[in-house]
A and B are shown apart, each in its own frame.
Chain A
Amino acid sequence: MTETSQAVRPEAEPLKTPRPADERLTNDTWWYGPAAIIAFLIFWEVAVRSGNVPEIFLPRPSVVVVTLYDLFAHKRLLDDLGLTLFRIFAGFLLAAVAGVGLGLFMGTSRRFNAIADTFVAALYPVPKIALLPLLVIWFGTGNAFMIALSALGGLFPVLINTVVGVRQCDEGLILAARDLGASAAQVQRKIVLPAAVPTIFGGLRLALGISIIMVVAGEMQTARYGLGAKLEQAGQVLETGQVFAILLLLAIVGVILTKAQDRLGNFVDRWRAK
């Protein structure tokens, strides 16, 4: 029997062998993203050079990099960067603490939720940038204003995600904890909050992005210092190279923050790994 079955087996082309598991686990695509960016920059550089595009419309990447260095070396751009980051993170932190706190409360107290839900529904869709005039009246145009803007932008994503995360908590886990003698406070702290962490973390990611947008936009409107202010000032005097340099810096800040969040997210979610 075995002989016949072997004889019948067709000598077809070998199946495409799947890659071994350990090979699939190694990250061999890490350079795709950077390589694509470098290719894009080279294309940009060559196209602008060969097309004779005036620098005031579209400076070459090499000029942008030199300008950025120049801004750091001679125009104290580091101070502006620091100031902008301070405004972003101070507001983001406020949003995170208030959003998680209120969200936990809303997700667990039916009464508080009944009250707060309408406020959230009314305030969430208001474009926060539309509050600029009001915030200027209340806070002036200094740091307090910027931080308020950043906090307002970040608050709702954190709040809404926290409420969702708390509500999604598996009822069985709460029963199991109560079975083992957990108090109401222990259920909140040891079950509901950790169960909501991945969802809360998703809200924090959105919030940081919005905080960056709000602060830069606010600085463009009113400030004298900060990346947004420098961007606006450069645009007004048609320093296109500086505009691009600051945009490049904002992009770099964005990449660094996103990657840092990815790392943190992987750590927070480490129990999901197989």
Chain B
Amino acid sequence: MSSPDTRFEAISIEGLSHRFLSRNKPPTTALSDVSVRFPSGKVTSIVGPSGCGKSTLLLIMRGLVKATNGHVRFLYGNGSGDLTAGDAPRMATVWQAFNLLPWRTVMDNVAFGLELSGIPTAERRAKAAEAIRTVELSGFENHYPGQLSGGMKQRVGLARGLVMSPDVLFLDEPFGALDAQTRLYLQEQLAALVESSGKTVVLVTHSIEEAIFLADHVVVMTARPGRVAATLDVSLPRPRTLEMQKEPAFGDLFAEIYGLLRDEVRKSMLN
């Protein structure tokens, strides 16, 4: 569908609904009529109360879960302003639970995706070594995940995604399992990485600060069934620094998002 002179412009979610069936409970509606667009080359955060279906939305976009209704379209443009749907771009995901293979070394974990697609050993090792360098883990190639700290594990997770040179990087609560300091440090590293690479990033998080700090747009979702409450633009300049969290613009946006989320969080605790 996409010819060489077109470029990837956006992921478009159109009227997406998803229901979970379970054996001894009535089906739960996780997502209800979600329509939202993730522009290419930008970082878009999705925030929402726990259980609002934001991780499910990510799995659906990634093609790992099939939605009950609605579409995920990958839009391509040729410069004239018309967009046409095309094949999925290259995508990779970084997970909250890291999901590293514990029986493989750092090197073999990072090279795993290349191995699956049949890249010869020498080539994939060279590429993996480079990705490991990018996330500052050189020297740990032969360690097993069990020998690493949480922050190091997630850097391996990031390298494993980056080595696939994805057009779109999905981050599913990537720092949710880490301590506060490690989290801050990795947020800064990630901000620098996405700024220099210009990748399309979709970040699912429950941290409002993280959503604002890393993103160009913030999608705020309601409690289950998840709907889009608002899409807000982040006007902070790049490169982002942690000091920006003290700026009035940051505070205002935080207040606006929290205002939207407050009642939703209460609802999510009650159901």
User: In the complex, A255→B141 CA distance in Å?
Assistant: 37
- Smallest Cβ distance from A267 to chain B, in angstroms? 12
| Residue in B104, B116, B144 whose beta carbon sits within 8 Å of that of A180 in the complex | B116
User: In the complex, A178→B93 CA distance in Å?
Assistant: 10
Determine if B99 and A173 form an interchain contact, defined as CB atoms under 8 angstroms apart.
Answer: yes
In the complex, chain B residues 15-65 whose Cβ is within 8 Å of any chain A Cβ? 59, 62, 64
B149 within 8 A of A: no
Known: A173-B99, A180-B160, A194-B103. A186 touches B116 (CB 8 A): yes
B147 within 8 A of A: yes
A271 within 8 A of B: yes
| Residue in A170, A186, A190, A197 whose beta carbon sits within 8 Å of that of B99 in the complex | A170
Determine if A172 and B113 form an interchain contact, defined as CB atoms under 8 angstroms apart.
Answer: no
Known: A179-B93, A182-B116, A274-B146. A173 touches B101 (CB 8 A): yes
Closest to B143 in A: A271
Q: Which residues of A contact B103 (CB under 8 A)?
A: 194-195, 197, 271
Closest to B157 in A: A176
Closest to B114 in A: A180
Known: A194-B101, A197-B103. A175 touches B95 (CB 8 A): yes
Determine if B95 and A172 form an interchain contact, defined as CB atoms under 8 angstroms apart.
Answer: yes
User: In the complex, A219→B188 CA distance in Å?
Assistant: 71
Closest to B170 in A: A179
Determine if B62 and A274 form an interchain contact, defined as CB atoms under 8 angstroms apart.
Answer: no
Determine if A179 and B101 form an interchain contact, defined as CB atoms under 8 angstroms apart.
Answer: no
Known: A180-B160, A180-B164, A181-B117. A175 touches B112 (CB 8 A): no
A213 within 8 A of B: no
In the complex, chain A residues 188-228 whose Cβ is within 8 Å of any chain B Cβ? 190-191, 194-195, 197
Count: A-B pairs, CB below 8 Å = 52
Determine if A271 and B112 form an interchain contact, defined as CB atoms under 8 angstroms apart.
Answer: no
| Residue in B99, B101, B116, B147 whose beta carbon sits within 8 Å of that of A181 in the complex | B116
Determine if B146 and A179 form an interchain contact, defined as CB atoms under 8 angstroms apart.
Answer: no
User: In the complex, A180→B164 CA distance in Å?
Assistant: 8
Determine if A176 and B146 form an interchain contact, defined as CB atoms under 8 angstroms apart.
Answer: no
In the complex, chain B residues 81-95 whose Cβ is within 8 Å of any chain A Cβ? 91-93, 95
A177 within 8 A of B: yes
- Smallest Cβ distance from B167 to chain A, in angstroms? 14
* Interface residues as binary, B95-110 with A (CB distance below 8 Å gives 1, 0 otherwise): 1010111111000000
In the complex, chain B residues 138-175 whose Cβ is within 8 Å of any chain A Cβ? 144, 146-147, 160, 164
Q: Which residues of A contact B97 (CB under 8 A)?
A: 172
Determine if B146 and A271 form an interchain contact, defined as CB atoms under 8 angstroms apart.
Answer: yes
Known: A194-B103, A271-B102, A271-B103. A177 touches B116 (CB 8 A): yes
| Residue in B62, B92, B101, B117 whose beta carbon sits within 8 Å of that of A191 in the complex | B101
Determine if A179 and B64 form an interchain contact, defined as CB atoms under 8 angstroms apart.
Answer: yes
User: In the complex, A180→B103 CA distance in Å?
Assistant: 17
A16 within 8 A of B: no
- Smallest Cβ distance from A145 to chain B, in angstroms? 39
- Smallest Cβ distance from B174 to chain A, in angstroms? 13
Q: Which residues of B contact A271 (CB under 8 A)?
A: 102-104, 144, 146
- Listed A/B pairs (24) with beta-carbon separation below 8 Å: A172-B99, A173-B99, A175-B59, A175-B95, A176-B93, A176-B100, A177-B112, A177-B116, A179-B64, A179-B92, A180-B112, A180-B160, A180-B164, A181-B116, A182-B116, A183-B116, A186-B116, A194-B101, A194-B103, A271-B102, A271-B104, A271-B144, A271-B146, A272-B102
Tell me the A residues contacting B by CB distance below 8 Å.
Answer: 170, 172-173, 175-183, 186, 190-191, 194-195, 197, 271-274
* New A-B pairs, 17, CB < 8 Å, besides A177-B116, A179-B64, A180-B160: A170-B99, A173-B101, A176-B100, A179-B62, A179-B91, A179-B93, A180-B92, A181-B116, A183-B116, A186-B116, A190-B112, A191-B101, A197-B103, A271-B102, A271-B103, A271-B144, A271-B146
